[in-house]
Structure formats: structure tokens, C-alpha cells
Amino acid sequence: MASAQGRSPGIRIACVDTRHLTVWHTAAMLTFDRLFAEHVATGLARQMALGDLIGERGWQLDLTSGTVTFGDDLRYHIQLLGTESHDDGSWLWAWANEASNLPPALLHLCGWLREYGHHQGVAELTEPTFALGRADGHRLALLASGLTGRCYYRGPYPGGAVFFHLDDAPPQITAPIRPERALSVLGEVIQGFPVDHRIAVESFLRQQSWRVDPAPTSVTAYHADGSTLRVDFDALGRVSNMSGTVSP
């Protein structure tokens, strides 16, 4: 199918710094859950920013031109990630979707992710298909965003959804968020995803250019504008309290 379209649902969209695109982790092999915890909060913050930009615009995907259009005024080039099937509850990577005869030029990103997965032993990035209960499209796209620096969009269609990254999203989407938004982002991550809380908190704050001072039961972070943030953890490593002060 050369094109698809619809209204913008409450889509999660994310993107992260492109400087990490070609860098392999050289420490011990990383698991999917560990990588996801490192990238989910920054991804969610940027999803919010792109969601603010797109609003309620409809979307139309054109595989021939390799672009997506939102409404009448926003158009971006894309790279395909994969599809969710609601019929059998499975994920299929775009590089493995031979039946659809997808343009090779739109498969560079997912091909890079596959190579990364082979290097790091992350099976979710190398296996062609698996159950959504193991990792759904949002989790896969968030991780891909953190590794490649692109924003993603979920386009629903009857029986499933297609996930793709935007190659050329506006720079304000990738800019560090305002300090006053940090607490709300972390709160949504902690409530919405089963992640290691400390990894998620520390990774997010460092990615957002905060100076992080970790302690055994807490993390205190300092922003360049004078804002501060403290996150406390219980005996199980879960966030027990978050507080902060924001500079005017």
C-alpha cells in the first residue's frame, strides 16, 4: 500500500540526540529493558513537544515519496520501523515485511537498528516478529528514538498500526525541556512504564543537561538556570517522592 491516512490520535512521538547514531556501547551487553529505561523519559518529553506541534491534524503517509503530511502545512520525510497487528497481537519489523515490497530507501533506519541489536545482543531488535506482550510498537519506537535521534509517529489503520520515524522534525522538538516540565515527565514515566526508576531518572536528567548528584537513596539535580530537583527512592529502588524549585 503506497499511502495511508487518518486523524491524529493521542500518539506518542519521540526523538533524541543524533550524535549517538553510530556509537556502539562498549561495556557489557545491554538488555532491551535497560536500554528502554535509559531513553523513555527523554523520548516522552519530546513526544509531548511534537504532540503540541501536530495537535489534532490528520495524517497521510506516502511511501512513494517517503513522506508524511500532517494537516495541510506540516510535511516530513520518514523512515519505517514496523507494524503492529491487532489480529494476532504481533510486531513485524519493516525490514522483515517482504510481502509489502517496501522501498529500500525507507528501511535504512530499521536496518541500522537490526545491526545494533546484533552487536549488543538485543533480541527484540533482531528477531523479525514477536508478540506485542514482549515489546509493543511504542516501546520499540521509543528505544529506537533514543538510539537514532529521530521522532516517531504511530499511524493506526484497520487491524493494526504502522510506526515510522520523522527524519527532519523541527529543532524545537529535540531541545531540552523547560525545568518546570521535568517533574511531570518523570511522573508520567514512573506511572506508565515498568522501568528501573533510578536508571530512568538519572538518564533523563543527564540527557536534559542537569548536573546529577546521586546518593544511595536519592538523586539531586541542578540546572544551569538555578533550578533544582530532588528524587527520593524507597528500599526497593522505587521513586517515593519528587520535589524541586524552579528559577523564574
pLDDT tens-digit series, residues 122-177: 999 999 999 999 999 999 999 988 888 788 999 999 999 999 999 999 998 888 99
Gap between the Cα atoms of 96 and 107, Å rounded: 10
The residue with greater pLDDT, 104 or 151, is: 104
Residue 25 pLDDT exceeds 70: no
The residue-averaged pLDDT of 103-122 equals: 96
Which of 225, 230, 228 lies closest to 248, judged by CA? 225
pLDDT at 150: 82
Gap between the Cα atoms of 226 and 209, Å rounded: 12
Model confidence at 6, in pLDDT bands (50, 70, 90)? low
Model confidence at 49, in pLDDT bands (50, 70, 90)? confident
Q: Which three cell numbers stand for residue 212?
A: 546529577
Q: Are 212 and 221 in contact (CB under 8 A)?
A: yes
Model confidence at 17, in pLDDT bands (50, 70, 90)? very low
Average confidence score pLDDT of the chain = 88
- Verdict on whether the full-model pTM lies above 0.85: no
The residue with greater pLDDT, 1 or 229, is: 229
Residue 43 pLDDT exceeds 80: yes
Greatest Cα pair distance in the chain: 55
Residue 29 pLDDT exceeds 50: no
**pLDDT above 90 covers what percent of the chain?**
77
Q: Are 59 and 155 in contact (CB under 8 A)?
A: yes
pLDDT at 16: 29
The residue with greater pLDDT, 109 or 50, is: 109
pLDDT tens-place string over residues 62-74: 999 999 999 999 9
